[in-house]
Structure 1
């Protein structure tokens, strides 16, 4: 480890790896720091995207096996959660093979230090007793689960996304507190594996950041699988280690017996060890790093990316691909400083990986209204789509926000939207591309989709919309021309 670098990156999660590897490949000297070698890869590898999606994969296989009994096969036995968790660890290890300190040194010539870093000056940190400086630093320090607070909580072993994958026995009844994406994904996974599941959410609906119709459709599907919901509610107290008293806003009280409780209440931050004040770095009133839209802290030489960038004026996005967006912005501004770009989520997208998936992109109706941008909302059902029919997915829906129709209805552009469907995260990709690149809907109408691909819905919505709204004058003109 040297005493001076071009860049020091603190935190080896998605954002930290992206920034450090890219800048090293450009020939700059880079030091990457993380507290523990097994934490390289960050939340995504260790506690988030990778293990949760592996769990969802296994739970879907179990669910499909049960559905197959309708056609004659029989199914017996219970899920062995220890074997499920071993599968998850195996998948993590396969990825960890190229996300570890030795690999980064050998393959990327990247200096990696394991330990707790603390600022001792505006451009200097101390790590393992040695002071190291850099022209610029990037904080990719992640976030922590927001704790569950309730009377009697000290009696309960509360799981979070960091500890739920340590379970080796399937809970008979899992209580999920929080109805956001993480909570809802885990609720469905454990229900499909065989647990009874109750979800307690503080909002009036699940996935409150999604359009209400999309949330309602997903909740209906999940309730059909046997998940119980107590919404507009909160945990009032725990009377013992396995009993919760839940209070609903209408005054009703519910007693929920559970084996395990999972808290998915959001994120918080802890900068106690890093000594931000020594570098002149300020926090906002929510305990987040105070940032501008170039992800720069109040110290002009220190930037933030990933969950640590939640204090940016553009808003919070707790996703691994948000970390990639932040990293790209920082890298771009480092290598082209004359043309500084600002953070924008106008074309951002995300997916909740339930079954069906919920995929959202672009600007929401609320954001468009705030900006006084005119738009139409177009809803499309999959009920007449042949692929959806043969796979029993006619319930699926999409809602697209588009420019109002003008003289040429095919020239309109897509401003945003949401899809609820199996594999929605894949189906919606060309809609995201059209939104980001400003493609008109004529690009879809003019495309010939192989039959019967599921993505044909991205054309069908326009054929149905335009075909049922042809102006009378245009009909007359076509008839005359014919």
Structure 2
């Protein structure tokens, strides 16, 4: 499939979806290319702000029940992960529908690479697409940055959101690549300090 658009946006994050809607409202034809159907809506909705806040909320609610034994913590954690998955799936679908239901916007799942200043090749499940546009916008999201502070990278008390939010069962101890602090496994001194 070869097709020309007024604008191609690579990445379906907050900026990209807002820009796509704006350009579509002005009558432009737009393609939004996202490499993963699990990332419609972007980083905040799927792997960062929203899932993290959902888990923190449920952790605080669990902590208000007092000290729980391991099986009770594991059950609460499974319930929290299920709720987080429901929230992110709902928001992902809402964001997808917001664009995909417009006549002049195509949402394409695949990996884009530039062939020329005005063409991209998209490796999609159905095959390779060659798309051209007058304007391109790169909106490929963010990634976690751990500051270069001595001891932070090796600390057992520093976590990043993504690995914590994809665990399916409550771990006895989080692996070093999934470090961070939550109400489920933070030390008592932090649990009771009121720090966020």
Deviation (angstroms), 1:116 = 1.0
Matched position secondary structure for 1:169: coil
Contact (CA 8 Å) 1:21, 1:108: kept in 2 or not? Answer: no
Q: Give 2:117's match in structure 1, choosing from 116, 122, 133.
A: 122
Name the residue aligned to 1:93: 89
Task: Quote the residue 2:80 is aligned against.
Answer: 84
Instruction: Indicate the SS of the match to 2:169.
Output: coil
- Tell me if the contact between 2:39 and 2:92 (Cα under 8 Å) persists in the aligned partners: no
Q: Deviations over 1:96-127 (max 9, x none)?
A: 23122x55222564211111111111122112
Q: 1:49 to 1:76 in 2, by over 3 A?
A: closer
Mark the structure with the bigger radius of gyration. Answer: 1
Structure-2 change in CA distance of 1:99 and 1:30 (3 Å): same
Q: Confirm or deny that 1:4 pairs with 2:20.
A: no
Q: Indicate the residue corresponding to 1:134 in structure 2.
A: 133
2:99 maps to 1:104: yes
Q: What TM-score results when the alignment is normalised by the length of structure 1?
A: 0.33
- Whether 2:188 is the aligned partner of 1:225: answer no
Indicate if the aligned counterparts of 1:172 and 1:196 stay in contact, CA closer than 8 A: no
Distance change in 2, residues 1:109/1:135 (3 Å):
closer
In the alignment, the residues of structure 1 paired with residue 56 and residue 16 of structure 2 have an alpha-carbon distance, to the nearest angstrom, of 26
1:391-402 alignment, distance < 5 Å: none
Give the root-mean-square deviation of aligned CA atoms.
Answer: 3.4
Tell whether 2:150 aligns with 1:164: no
After the TM superposition, which residues 298-313 of structure 1 pair with which residues of structure 2 at under 5 Å, given as runs? none
User: What SS does the corresponding residue of 1:87 show, helix, strand or coil?
Assistant: helix
- The residue number in structure 2 matching 1:447 is none
For residue 8 of structure 1, give the secondary structure of its aligned residue in structure 2: strand
Give a deviation string over 1:168-216, Cα, whole Å, max 9, x none.
33334447789xxxx7xx41xx2x22x245xxxxxxxxxxxxxxxxxxx
Change (3 A) 1:108 1:223: farther
| Contact 1:5–1:134 (Cα < 8 Å) also in 2 | yes
Q: Alignment length, in residue pairs?
A: 179
Whole-angstrom distance in 1 between the partners of 2:110 and 2:175: 36
Partner of 2:40: 40
TM-score, structure 2 as length reference: 0.75
Higher relative contact order (CA 8 A, sep 6+): 2
Q: Distance in 2 between matches of 1:163 and 1:175?
A: 9
Give structure 1 stretches of 5+ with no counterpart.
Answer: 67-74, 148-158, 198-221, 228-354, 358-482
What does residue range 416-435 of structure 1 map to in structure 2 within 5 Å?
A: none
Residue deviations 1:141-193, cap 9 Å, x none?
A: 1234469xxxxxxxxxxx85332222233334447789xxxx7xx41xx2x22
